[in-house]
Amino acid sequence: MESVEPSHSAAPRDARVYEMLDATRYTSVGAMLRDALVQFKTHLAFTELDRKRVVHRLTYLDVLRAVERLARRFEDAGIGAGDRVAIVMTNQARWPIAATAAFFRGAIVVPIDYKLTPAERQSLLGHAKPKALVTEYPLFAPHAEGALSAIPLVLVSEVPANARLGHAQPWGALDGSDSDGGEAAPLEAPTFVPRALDDVATIVYSSGTGGQPKGCLLPHRAYLAQYSALTSLFPLVVGDRYFSILPTNHAIDFMCGFLGPLCGGATVVHQRTLRPEFLLSTMKSQRITHMSVVPLILTAFERSIREKLDALPGWQRAAVDRLMKVNERLTEKRPNRLLSRALLRPIHDAFGGELRMLFCGGAFVEQERAEWFHRLGLPVAIGYGLTEASTVATVNDLRPFRGDSVGRAVSGVELRIVGADASGVGEVQLRGPTLMLGYLDDEEQTRAAFTDDGWLRTGDLGHLDASHHLHLVGRSKNMIVTRGGKNVYPEDLEGAFGSVACEELAVFAEGYLWQTRGELVGERLVVVARLKSGADAREQARFRDALLTANQRLADYKRVHALLFTDESFPRTASMKIKREVLAAGVRERHTTADVLALSEPSETLR
Q: What is the CA radius of gyration of the chain?
A: 25
> What's the DSSP call for residue 258?
I
Q: How far is the CB of 249 from another protein (least distance, A)?
A: 15
Q: Please list the alpha-helical segments (H only) found in 40-92.
A: 60-76
In DSSP terms, which residues pair with 578 in a beta bridge? 572
Over the window 357 to 396, marking each residue x when it contacts another protein by CB under 8 A and - when it does not, the resulting string is: ----------------------------------------
Q: Does 549 bind another protein (CB under 8 A)?
A: no
Q: How far is the CB of 183 from another protein (least distance, A)?
A: 33
The answer to whether 258 and 435 are in contact (CB under 8 A) is no
Q: Does 446 bind another protein (CB under 8 A)?
A: no
Phi first, then psi: what are they for 598, rounded to 5°?
-70, 140
* List 403, 484, 516, 580, residue binding another protein (CB under 8 A): 484
Whichever of 92 and 566 has its CB closer to another protein, that residue is 92
Residue 384: strand, helix, or coil: strand
Q: Does 329 bind another protein (CB under 8 A)?
A: no
| Footprint of another protein on 280-299 (CB under 8 A) | 296-297, 299
Whichever of 556 and 581 has its CB closer to another protein, that residue is 556
Q: Does 82 bind another protein (CB under 8 A)?
A: no
Q: Does 149 bind another protein (CB under 8 A)?
A: no
What is the C-alpha to C-alpha distance for residues 1 and 431, in angstroms, rounded to an integer? 14
Q: Does 277 bind another protein (CB under 8 A)?
A: yes
The answer to whether 566 and 587 are in contact (CB under 8 A) is yes
Q: Does 139 bind another protein (CB under 8 A)?
A: yes
* List 3, 24, 273, 316, residue binding another protein (CB under 8 A): 273
Q: Would you say the C-alpha torsion 346, 352, 355, 359 has a positive or negative sign?
A: negative
What is the C-alpha to C-alpha distance for residues 547 and 588, in angstroms, rounded to an integer? 23
169-170, strands of its sheet edge to edge: 169-170, 153-157, 132-136, 84-88, 108-111, 200-207, 214-219, 438-439
Whichever of 25 and 51 has its CB closer to another protein, that residue is 51
Q: Does 88 bind another protein (CB under 8 A)?
A: no
Q: Does 51 bind another protein (CB under 8 A)?
A: yes
Using CB atoms within 10 Å of the CB of residue 336, give its burial: 0 to 12 exposed, 13 to 18 middle, 19+ buried: middle
Q: Does 571 bind another protein (CB under 8 A)?
A: no
* List 197, 300, 320, 339, residue binding another protein (CB under 8 A): 300
Among the listed ranges 423-431, 513-521, 560-568, 595-603, the one in contact with another protein (CB under 8 A) is: 595-603
Q: Does 276 bind another protein (CB under 8 A)?
A: yes
* List 41, 272, 356, 457, residue binding another protein (CB under 8 A): 272
The answer to whether 85 and 108 are in contact (CB under 8 A) is yes
Phi first, then psi: what are they for 15, rounded to 5°?
-55, -30
Count CB neighbours of 467 within 10 A.
9
Among the listed ranges 61-69, 275-283, 317-325, 525-533, the one in contact with another protein (CB under 8 A) is: 275-283
In DSSP terms, which residues pair with 215 in a beta bridge? 205
Site for another protein, rule CB under 8 A: 51, 90, 115, 117, 138-139, 272-278, 296-297, 299-300, 303, 483-484, 552, 556, 600-601, 603-607
